[in-house]
């Protein structure tokens, strides 16, 4: 498999006076089609790492390569274009646009990409069918349950077939039944479309269903567990060792 993302000595420091190291020389390689979970306590740098991969944030130092291209210093316009074409986001809260119905919300990334409106609509309907909301096309977020909204958000993240789908606690706000449903959905889509999924989660139950689990503490990857058969093989990456 080819590497879709390579991260080299990535460092992010916040603050002017008192410095807060959010990411400390992180090296990471993610393969195409992989389902990766990032776990760790609050403030360990999970979200920061995810925002870097999602091109929403820029590192203090280090490099990010996407599909063999160094995008560390890409212009805001280029980053926006890459977010639109290569990345799909699922947030903890669905973050759907409240004035738009389900189809329109799913259409949005396609319209941003410049896809013709009619084409965008038919693609959006297909994505909503995939997440099992074919009968809720014209409901606005206020008319849908939390789980349904999150499924719309999944459909939106998949619109335009991005190569990487990023989830920041995608089930963090849902009950366990809805969580399982969302996870099964993501897994199914991963099998069908070979997209790469990177999920930040608190939920070990969900993490254990992914291909690889990275554990972050204080801005460092302290352990990495890779699925082999039914179990996980641990590789300790803590530098303290």
For the bound state, the minimum distance from the C-beta of residue 47 to another protein, rounded and expressed in Å, comes to 8
Hunting for tokens 């897994």 — which residue is that? Answer: 187
Strand runs (DSSP E) across 1-84, as ranges? 3-14, 20-31, 35-39, 61-66, 69-70
Q: Quick one: 14 or 19, whose CB is closer to another protein?
A: 14
Question: Among 34, 37, 46, 51, which residue sits at the site for another protein (rule: CB under 8 A)?
Answer: 51
56 contributes a contact to another protein by CB under 8 A: yes
85 contributes a contact to another protein by CB under 8 A: yes
Q: Quick one: 202 or 226, whose CB is closer to another protein?
A: 202
Helix/strand/coil for 112:
helix
15 contributes a contact to another protein by CB under 8 A: no
| HEC string for 155-200 | HHHHCCCCCEEEEECCCCCCCHHHHHHHHHHHHHHHHHHCCEEEEE
Question: Among 111, 126, 193, 222, which residue sits at the site for another protein (rule: CB under 8 A)?
Answer: 111
89 contributes a contact to another protein by CB under 8 A: yes
Return d(Cα 121, Cα 109) in angstroms, integer.
Answer: 11
- Pull the structure tokens for residue 141: 């977020």
**Binding segment (CB under 8 A) for another protein, from list 26-34, 59-67, 74-82, 197-205:** 74-82
Does an H or E element contain 87, and which? Answer: strand 87-90
Backbone angles phi, psi at 207, to 5 degrees: -60, -40
99 contributes a contact to another protein by CB under 8 A: yes
Q: Quick one: 136 or 156, whose CB is closer to another protein?
A: 156
Does an H or E element contain 214, and which? Answer: strand 212-217
83 contributes a contact to another protein by CB under 8 A: yes
**Binding segment (CB under 8 A) for another protein, from list 62-70, 106-114, 203-211, 232-240:** 106-114
- Count residues binding another protein (CB under 8 A): 27
**Closest of 37, 28, 17 to residue 232, by C-alpha:** 37
Beta 164-168 vs 87-90: how paired, if at all?
parallel
**Binding segment (CB under 8 A) for another protein, from list 20-28, 32-40, 83-91, 176-184:** 83-91
- Pull the structure tokens for residue 86: 């290569």
109 contributes a contact to another protein by CB under 8 A: yes
116 contributes a contact to another protein by CB under 8 A: no
Positions that interact with another protein (CB under 8 A): 51, 54, 56-57, 76-77, 80-85, 87, 89, 91, 95, 97-100, 104, 108-109, 111-113, 156
């Amino acid at each position: 498999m080819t590497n879709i993302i390579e991260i080299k000595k990535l460092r992010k420091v916040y603050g002017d006076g008192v410095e807060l190291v959010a990411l400390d020389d992180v090296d990471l390689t993610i393969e195409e089609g992989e389902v990766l979970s990032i776990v760790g306590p609050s403030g360990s740098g999970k979200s920061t790492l995810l925002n870097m991969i999602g091109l929403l944030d820029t590192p203090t130092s280090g490099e990010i390569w996407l599909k063999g291209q160094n995008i560390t210093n890409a212009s805001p316009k280029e980053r926006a274009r890459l977010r639109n074409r290569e990345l799909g986001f699922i947030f903890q809260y669905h973050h759907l646009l409240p004035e738009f119905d389900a189809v329109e919300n799913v259409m949005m990334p396609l319209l941003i990409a410049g896809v013709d409106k009619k084409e965008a609509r038919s693609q959006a309907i297909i994505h909503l069918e995939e997440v099992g909301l074919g009968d809720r096309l014209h409901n606005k977020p206020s008319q849908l349950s939390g789980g349904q909204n999150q499924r719309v958000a999944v459909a939106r993240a998949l619109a335009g077939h991005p190569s990487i789908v990023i989830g920041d606690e995608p089930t963090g706000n849902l009950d366990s039944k809805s969580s399982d449903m969302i996870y099964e959905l993501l897994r199914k889509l991963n099998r069908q479309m070979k997209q790469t999924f990177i999920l930040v989660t608190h939920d070990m139950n969900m993490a254990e269903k992914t291909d690889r689990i990275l554990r972050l503490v204080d801005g460092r990857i302290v352990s990495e567990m890779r699925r082999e058969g039914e179990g996980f093989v641990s590789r300790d990456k803590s530098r303290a060792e």
